[in-house]
Amino acid sequence: MWIRYSLCVDKWRSKIYRLSLSQLKALEVLAASKKGIIEADESIKVVGLKGKNLGGVFSALSRQKIGKESLILPWGRSEAGRGLRWKLNTKVVEVKELRSIIKEVLSL
């Protein structure tokens, strides 16, 4: 069991290290949010992108697979009716560990 968990952690760690700066910032906002769910508009200030560019960042993150699971999941339309809400997939990543890795990578 430990070996399987260790391999899974190594897989998502290596994925995190290869993400773009915008993707890392978007994940940072997701990891800091309540329940790991945000509307894309909530990350505009941190990521520094808006509109279709911001949607592209979240879309690219949703295509990042760890095993057969996506790193983030679309979680329905935003309450304002424009854009999507996104959820961190806690089946494949531990929020606390994700925060520390993102902090480590952003400090490099």
Q: Which residue has the higher pLDDT, 28 or 82?
A: 28
Q: Is the dihedral of CA 49, 59, 39, 37 positive or negative?
A: negative
Here the CATH number for the domain that contains residue 9 is 1.10.10.10
pLDDT exceeds cutoff 80 at 2? no
Q: Give residue 15's domain range.
A: 2-106
Structural domains of the chain, count: 1
pLDDT at res. 27: 92
pLDDT tens for 24-55 read: 999 999 999 888 888 877 788 888 887 788 88
Say how many C-beta atoms besides its own lie within 10 A of residue 67's C-beta: 11
User: 76, 84 in Cβ contact below 8 A?
Assistant: yes
**What is the crossing angle of helices 21-32 and 95-106, to 10°?**
140
